[in-house]
C-alpha cells in the first residue's frame, strides 16, 4: 500500500519536473553540461526524497509492529529510484552532447564546484551538530536516522543549487 | 581595494575574423560559457588563462584586460 503511494508520488513529481526540464533542455536555451548534471541531481533528489520525507512525516509507520521494515523498504525504494533517474539521466545527457561530456572541467567549473562544496560543507556541519549533538537528548531511533538523511539531502541540494545559480548568473 | 576588471575580448574577437567564443575557448582550454562569462565581466580568469587569451590575439595582457579602481574616474 505504502509502496504504491510512494510510486504515485514519485510519478507525480516526475511529471511536473519533466515539464520544467523540457522547457530548458528543448527550448533552445544553451546550458552548460555541468549545469545540466546539477539540474538532474536536484530533480532526482526532489522526486525521490520529497515523497520519502512526506511519508516519514505523515507518521504512517509509527503504529506498525515492525516499523523498521517498511521504513527501510521505503528508503531502499527511494535510493534505488534516485539511482535509476541519475543513471538514465546521465546516459541521456551524455548521448545528447558527447563532446561536452568528454570535456574536462575548466578553471571556472572547478571554482564553481569549490564554492558549492564549501557552502554545502557548512550546511552539512550544521546538520551533523544537530543530529549528533542535540537530537540524541530528545529523540531516538528513526527520528535521528531520518534527520541525518535529511541533513545530507539538504547539503546536497544546497551544493547543486549553488552550482545551478553560479552557472545561471555566469559567475 | 575595489575596482572593475574590464576587457576587450569582444573587440579582439571581431578583429580576428569574428572568432567565435567556442574557438577562443578551445584554444585556451576553457568552455564557451567561461569565455562568455569573462567577456561579460562576470568571471575573472586566472593569470594563466588571461595570458593565454592575450597570446591567442597576439597582444599584451594590458591590451586585453584593464583594471580600473573604483571611483577613479569620478573626478
H or E segment and range at residue B52: helix B47-57
A105: closest CA of chain B, how far (Å): 8
pLDDT, tens digit (0-9, with 9 covering 90-100), for A33-67: 999 999 999 999 999 999 999 988 887 777 777 76
Alpha-carbon separation of residue A6 from A9, A46, A55, A57, A84 (angstroms): 5, 13, 8, 13, 15
Distance, C-alpha A5 to centroid of its chain: 19
Task: Tell me how far apart the terminal alpha carbons of chain A are, to the nearest angstrom.
Answer: 47
List the single residue in B42, B45, B49 with the smallest CB-CB distance to A171.
B42
> Domain ranges in chain B?
3-61
What does the pLDDT average to over A134-157? 89
Task: Report yes or no: B56 and B24 within 8 Å, Cβ to Cβ.
Answer: yes
Residues of A in contact with B43 (CB under 8 A): 108, 111, 170-171
Q: If we measure between CA atoms, which residue out of A54, A39, A69 comes closest to residue A163?
A: A39
Look at residue A61 in the predicted model and tell me its pLDDT.
74
Q: pLDDT category, A17, cuts 50, 70, 90?
A: low
Contact between chains at B33 and A167 (C-beta distance less than 8 A) = yes
Which chain B residue is nearest to residue A167, measuring alpha carbons? B33
Give the per-residue pLDDT at A27: 46
Please, which pLDDT band fits residue B74 given cuts at 50, 70 and 90? very low
Alpha carbon of A137 to those of A52, A130, A132, A140, A143: distances in Å? Answer: 25, 11, 10, 8, 12
Q: Which residues contact A76 (CB under 8 A, 6 or more apart)?
A: none
Residues of A with CB under 8 A from a CB of B: 32, 103, 106-109, 111, 167, 169-171
pLDDT tens readout for residues B10-37: 999 999 999 999 999 999 999 988 999 9
User: In the structure grid, which three cell numbers stand for residue A149, read together?
Assistant: 538523511
Question: What ipTM, to 2 d.p.?
Answer: 0.81
pLDDT greater at residue A27 or residue A82: A82
Structure confidence at residue A4 (pLDDT): 54
Distance from CA of A104 to the nearest CA of B (A): 9
pLDDT of the residue at A8: 53
Task: State mean pLDDT over B53-60.
Answer: 95
pLDDT for position A60: 77
Nearest CA distance, B41 vs chain A (angstrom) = 9
CA distance A115 to A121: 10
Q: Which of B59, B50, B7, B57 is nearest to B30 (CA)?
A: B50
On whether the pTM is more than 0.80, the answer is: no
Whole-number Å distance between alpha carbons of A34 and A112: 10
> What CATH number labels B3-61?
1.10.260.40
- Does B30 contact A170 at a Cβ distance shorter than 8 Å? no
Q: Please determine, for residue A99, whether its predicted confidence score (pLDDT) is greater than 90.
A: no
Strand partners for B68: B4
Tell me the chain B residues in contact with residue A108 when contact means C-beta distances shorter than 8 Å: 30-31, 33-34, 37, 43, 45
Amino acid at each position: 500500500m505504502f509502496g504504491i503511494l510512494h510510486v504515485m508520488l514519485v510519478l507525480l513529481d516526475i511529471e511536473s519536473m519533466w515539464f520544467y526540464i523540457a522547457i530548458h533542455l528543448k527550448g533552445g536555451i544553451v546550458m552548460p553540461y555541468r549545469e545540466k548534471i546539477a539540474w538532474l541531481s536536484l530533480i532526482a533528489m526532489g522526486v525521490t526524497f520529497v515523497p520519502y520525507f512526506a511519508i516519514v512525516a505523515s507518521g504512517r509507520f509509527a503504529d506498525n509492529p515492525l516499523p523498521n521494515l517498511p521504513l527501510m523498504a521505503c528508503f531502499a525504494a527511494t535510493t534505488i529510484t534516485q539511482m535509476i533517474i541519475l543513471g538514465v539521466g546521465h546516459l541521456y545527457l551524455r548521448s545528447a552532447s558527447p563532446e561536452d561530456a568528454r570535456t574536462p572541467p575548466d578553471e571556472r567549473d572547478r571554482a564553481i564546484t569549490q564554492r558549492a562544496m564549501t557552502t554545502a560543507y557548512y550546511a552539512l556541519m550544521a546538520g551533523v551538530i544537530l543530529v549528533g549533538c542535540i537530537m540524541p537528548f530528545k529523540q531516538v531511533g528513526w527520528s535521528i536516522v531520518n534527520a541525518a538523511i535529511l541533513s545530507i539531502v539538504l547539503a546536497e541540494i544546497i551544493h547543486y543549487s549553488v552550482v545551478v545559480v553560479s552557472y545561471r548568473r555566469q559567475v | 581595494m575595489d575596482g572593475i576588471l574590464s576587457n576587450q575580448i569582444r573587440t579582439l574577437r571581431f578583429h580576428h575574423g569574428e572568432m567565435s567564443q567556442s574557438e577562443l575557448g578551445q584554444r585556451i582550454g576553457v568552455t564557451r560559457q567561461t569565455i562568455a562569462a569573462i567577456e561579460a565581466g562576470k568571471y575573472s580568469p586566472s593569470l594563466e588563462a588571461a595570458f593565454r587569451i592575450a597570446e591567442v590575439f597576439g597582444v599584451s595582457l594590458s591590451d586585453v584586460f584593464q583594471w580600473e579602481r573604483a571611483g577613479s574616474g569620478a573626478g
